[in-house]
Structure 1
């Protein structure tokens, strides 16, 4: 599977936007292309405690969530639940 630099940069921008929208206190992330889906590894902290979470997303779903709409809202809700205590009260 060949991923262009532009496609990876767009994916990282989309992930950053989603994580910023969740208003995480502190986070680091990486986008790792995999066969069929991508793994988003997030390390986030709140109140001095850190957790690591791996989120799986298809490239199509990630592209669809780059713009406001139902797909983005759905992804935000799922990520807020997965990131637990790191999310600071954003109602997706």
Structure 2
């Protein structure tokens, strides 16, 4: 799979859970995030781009593995962030 294709499939995999989350909020008529929504969207876009880079490094053979790698990056990042020892 070409690197650009892997990057975009990984970005799609990372963005899909966010889209589903906002769809559920809208369907349940719950309020969207308050004043910090600009920062939240900016951080989400950064995560999506990092997920694309992670997917390229993962070297998936097909689109499904690329989507999986992109979708799993936030969980992997969160697990690594919790494992960092505090001083």
TM-score w.r.t. length of structure 1: 0.33
Larger helix proportion of the pair: 2
User: Which structure's relative contact order is higher, taking Cα pairs within 8 Å and 6+ residues apart?
Assistant: 2
TM-score (normalised: structure 2): 0.34
